[in-house]
Every structure is written in structure tokens, then in C-alpha cells.
């Protein structure tokens, strides 16, 4: 059964299915939908949980053995299978197909994965999961739907945001739901429930001593290497998701790479891209320090960090982010 993220709560309220597959490249929706499934399971006494992280060396026999074993501690359990690449391979596809054909009793299989390509959605294993339970794909929310999503997010926290506030958040997050949720949660802590206007938001942001990914990007563009390192240490200590930090730096590097190829019209290109007037000097400062080739190499580093975050490459993601930030803030 194929459902949308906004339909999941109703589906869970009606009944629990033996299989849930949640995929997509919108991390907040995938994360919150998975949490919703686990919460529904806990309400029905699914208290035991096994987590499987799938990479190229994963032994699919582990899933088969777990499915066939009896629970030692609880009569009900969750098998939490994570496939960042969305590609289980031939052996994994066969294992999932066999599992879906005969799911064990008192067990819920929760699969989370990255975005599925057309080939995966046409595969036998995906069709088997669709027939056995619930499949859900999380798509990014476009600019036309983002204001309504942000407004609803404010309301869910007991806040009534003015149109100016909603537009302000839209400008800051540029479609990244994880960044939007974090920004709104921060405002909820600083401002509290009730009506929220633009003046109170600006005051709250000014009074906040916590570092943000937006301050990180501005410091890197400005060439302040010392502050970049300090902010990255702060973000790491606060438990900020690395994928959010990568996004914040990558979106600016991607824009700079495109603009640097036509430096004669840099001002026009930056304004066309929606850069605010007060941030133009930051972008121009960074353009003066790096060449197009340099920006492209930094983008390759972003791709590597994304692979580490998703478990597709080895490495320490925070070490790589420090290197990326230091290079972007530095001189060629």
C-alpha cells in the first residue's frame, strides 16, 4: 500500500502492518515518519528492537535468522533495517522478497532508505514489500508549498507566525525542512507559544548565544577561519545533524561555482539567485579568494561528506566538515 507522509498517522491509527518501507532524500520527513511508526509500535507493546545498518558487506542472513528466531525478551519486536543507498543488491532483494512473502508474527519490519530510483520501484522486492505492508516516498517540498508547511509547523508548536516571519524562515532555509524545523524549534524555546512577529524573532535571534549553520556559512564566506572552526566545534557539541551543516555550506559553494564562471556579471547573477543585498559582500569576498576550479573541488568534497554521512564512504564526517570549512574560508 502506497501512502503519503500526511496519510501515515491515519494508517497507523487503523492498524499496524507487518512491513513499512520509508524512502526519500528529504531527511526530516524520513526521520519523523520512522519515529511515528516506532511510536505506534511501542503503544502496542512492541518493546524489543533490533537495528541493522546495511552496507556493501552486510550479511543478509542476519535478517533471515532474526526473522526466524524467537524473541528472548518480548513477544513483540521491531526489526529496524536501514539502507542508505536504497539498493539492497541481488542477495538483499531476494531476502526482502522472501521476508515479505512470509512475515513472522508479532514482528514489524521498518525499512528506511535513501531515494529510490525507477529501477528499484519496479523491482520484485519492492513490489513484494508494497503488497505486504506500507511503502512511502518522501519528496522535497517545493517553494510553492513551503510557506504552508512552515505555518503548520509553527502551529504544531502552539505558535501563530505572521506572514513576515514565515517569509523570513523560508528565506533562511531555502527548502531544507530539517533546517526549518530546527529554526522553528529554536524560536519556540526563545520566544515561546503565542503570536510571533518579525520583531520578536529578530530580537530572539540576536539574544541567542548558540551557533547556527547560517552563522557558519557567513563566517566561511567572509574568510574568518578561526570563527569557522569555533562554530563547527559548537555545532558538533550541540548535536547538530552533519547533513544540515553540509547542506548549508554546499548550497553556497554550488552557487559560487556557477557565478564564478561569469564573474563579469556576478552581481546580477547573485541577485537573480535570490541573495539578499546585505549578503552580497560576503559572496563577492569569497569569489575574490577562489577560482572556479577551486569551487568545483570544494563541491567534490561536499559529495564525499554526503557519502560519509549516508554510510557509503569511510571517514569522520566532522573532521571532513572542518577541512571543508577551513578551505572555503581560506585563500587559494
Q: What is the pLDDT of residues 245-281, one digit of tens each?
A: 998 899 899 999 988 887 777 777 887 777 777 778 8
Query: Does residue 184 share a domain with residue 259?
Result: no
- Tell me the pLDDT of the chain averaged across its residues: 87
Contacts of 311 (CB under 8 A, 6+ apart): 53, 55, 84
Q: How many C-beta atoms lie closer than 10 Å to residue 122's C-beta?
A: 10
C-alpha dihedral over 224, 229, 231, 232, to 10 degrees?
140
Does residue 242 register a pLDDT over 50?
yes
- 39-48, 68-77, 183-192, 201-210, range with the lowest pLDDT: 201-210
- Would you say 20 and 8 are in contact if contact means Cβ atoms under 8 Å apart? no
Q: What pLDDT digit, counting tens, does each position of 19-52 carry?
A: 999 998 888 899 999 999 999 999 999 988 889 9
Does residue 209 register a pLDDT over 60?
no
Residue 204: what pLDDT? 63
- Among 248, 314, 312, which residue's Cα sits nearest to residue 114? 312
Residue 112: what pLDDT? 94
Domain interval for residue 16: 2-138
Report angle CA 298, 300, 306 to the nearest 5 degrees.
105
Q: Please say which residue of 174, 207, 240 terminates a domain.
A: 207
Q: Please say which residue of 120, 138, 156 terminates a domain.
A: 138
**Where is pLDDT greater, at 3 or 140?**
3
Provide mean pLDDT across the span 71-77. 68
Cα separation, 240 vs 214, in Å, equals: 13
Domain total of the chain: 3
- pTM flag (> 0.85): no
Q: How many C-beta atoms lie closer than 10 Å to residue 204's C-beta?
A: 17
Contacts of 102 (CB under 8 A, 6+ apart): none
Which residue reads 512491513 in cell numbers? 19
Report helix, strand or coil for 48.
strand
Provide mean pLDDT across the span 298-321. 92
**Where is pLDDT greater, at 68 or 302?**
302
Report angle CA 323, 325, 331 to the nearest 5 degrees.
95
**CATH of residue 97:** 3.40.50.300
**CATH of residue 273:** 1.20.272.10
Provide mean pLDDT across the span 137-155. 88
Does residue 9 register a pLDDT over 80?
yes
Query: Does residue 284 share a domain with residue 261?
Result: yes
Provide mean pLDDT across the span 133-156. 89
How confident is residue 190, by pLDDT bands cut at 50, 70 and 90?
confident
Does residue 207 register a pLDDT over 50?
no
Q: Please say which residue of 102, 118, 138 terminates a domain.
A: 138
Task: Decide the pairing of beta strands 107-113 and 2-3.
Answer: unpaired
The sheet carrying 107-113 orders its strands as 2-3, 134-138, 19-24, 107-113, 77-83, 48-53
How confident is residue 290, by pLDDT bands cut at 50, 70 and 90?
very high
Ramachandran assignment for 163, one of left (phi > 0), alpha (psi -120 to 50 degrees), beta (any other):
alpha
Residue 185: what pLDDT? 86
Cα separation, 320 vs 147, in Å, equals: 33
**Where is pLDDT greater, at 72 or 224?**
224
Largest separation between any pair of C-alpha atoms in the chain? 69
- Among 322, 193, 148, which residue's Cα sits nearest to residue 249? 322
Residue 250: what pLDDT? 92
- 36-50, 141-155, 191-205, 228-242, range with the lowest pLDDT: 191-205
Contacts 24+ apart (CB under 8 A), 182-191: 182/240, 182/244, 184/150, 184/153, 184/154, 184/157, 184/159, 185/157, 186/210, 186/212, 187/159, 188/157, 188/158, 188/159, 191/159
Does residue 187 register a pLDDT over 80?
yes
Query: Does residue 154 share a domain with residue 119?
Result: no
Query: Does residue 108 share a domain with residue 150?
Result: no
Cα separation, 222 vs 282, in Å, equals: 5
| Backbone dihedral angles phi then psi of residue 212, each to the nearest 5 degrees | -130, 165
Residue 249: what pLDDT? 92
Bridge partners of residue 110, in order along the sequence: 20, 80
- Among 177, 311, 302, 186, which residue's Cα sits nearest to residue 238? 186
Query: Does residue 240 share a domain with residue 320?
Result: yes
Query: Does residue 230 share a domain with residue 324?
Result: yes
Query: Does residue 308 share a domain with residue 219?
Result: yes
Q: What pLDDT digit, counting tens, does each position of 81-129 carry?
A: 999 888 899 999 999 999 999 999 889 999 999 888 888 899 999 999 9
Does residue 172 register a pLDDT over 90?
no
Instruction: Tell me the percentage of the chain whose pLDDT exceeds 70.
Output: 94
Query: Does residue 134 share a domain with residue 6?
Result: yes
Query: Does residue 130 share a domain with residue 231?
Result: no
Amino acid at each position: 500500500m502506497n501512502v503519503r507522509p500526511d496519510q501515515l498517522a491515519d494508517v497507523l491509527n487503523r492498524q499496524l502492518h507487518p512491513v513499512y518501507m520509508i524512502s526519500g532524500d528529504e531527511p526530516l520527513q524520513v526521520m519523523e515518519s520512522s519515529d511515528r511508526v516506532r511510536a505506534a509500535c511501542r503503544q502496542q507493546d512492541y518493546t524489543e528492537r533490533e537495528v541493522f545498518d546495511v552496507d556493501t558487506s552486510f550479511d543478509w542472513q542476519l535478517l533471515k535468522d532474526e526473522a526466524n528466531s524467537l524473541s528472548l525478551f518480548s513477544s513483540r519486536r521491531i526489526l529496524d533495517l536501514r539502507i542508505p543507498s536504497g539498493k539492497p543488491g541481488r542477495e538483499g532483494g531476494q531476502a526482502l522478497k522472501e521476508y515479505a512473502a512470509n512475515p513472522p508474527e508479532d514482528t514489524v519490519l521498518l525499512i528506511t532508505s535513501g531515494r529510490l530510483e525507477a529501477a528499484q520501484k519496479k523491482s520484485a522486492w519492492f513490489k513484494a514489500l508494497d503488497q505486504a505492508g506500507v511503502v512511502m516516498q518522501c519528496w522535497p517540498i517545493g517553494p510553492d508549498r513551503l510557506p504552508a508547511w512552515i505555518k503548520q509547523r509553527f502551529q504544531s508548536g502552539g505558535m501563530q507566525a505572521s506572514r513576515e516571519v514565515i517569509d523570513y524562515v523560508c528565506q533562511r532555509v531555502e527548502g531544507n525542512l530539517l533546517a526549518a524545523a530546527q529554526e522553528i524549534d529554536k524560536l519556540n524555546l526563545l520566544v515561546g507559544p503565542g503570536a510571533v512577529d518579525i520583531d520578536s524573532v529578530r530580537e530572539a535571534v540576536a539574544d541567542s548565544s548558540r551557533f547556527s549553520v547560517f552563522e557558519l556559512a557567513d563566517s566561511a564566506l567572509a574568510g574568518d577561519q578561526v570563527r569557522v572552526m569555533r562554530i563547527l566545534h559548537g555545532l558538533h557539541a550541540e548535536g547538530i545533524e552533519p547533513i544540515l551543516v553540509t547542506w548549508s555550506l554546499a548550497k553556497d559553494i554550488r552557487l559560487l561555482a556557477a557565478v564564478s564562471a561569469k564573474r563579469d556579471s556576478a552581481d546580477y547573477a547573485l541577485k537573480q539567485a535570490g541573495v539578499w543585498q546585505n549578503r552580497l559582500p560576503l559572496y563577492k569576498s569569497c569569489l575574490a579568494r577562489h577560482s572556479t576550479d577551486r569551487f568545483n573541488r570544494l563541491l567534490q568534497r561536499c559529495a564525499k561528506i554526503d557519502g560519509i554521512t549516508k554510510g557509503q564512504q569511510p571517514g569522520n564526517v566532522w573532521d571532513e566538515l572542518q577541512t571543508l570549512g577551513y578551505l572555503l574560508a581560506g585563500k587559494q
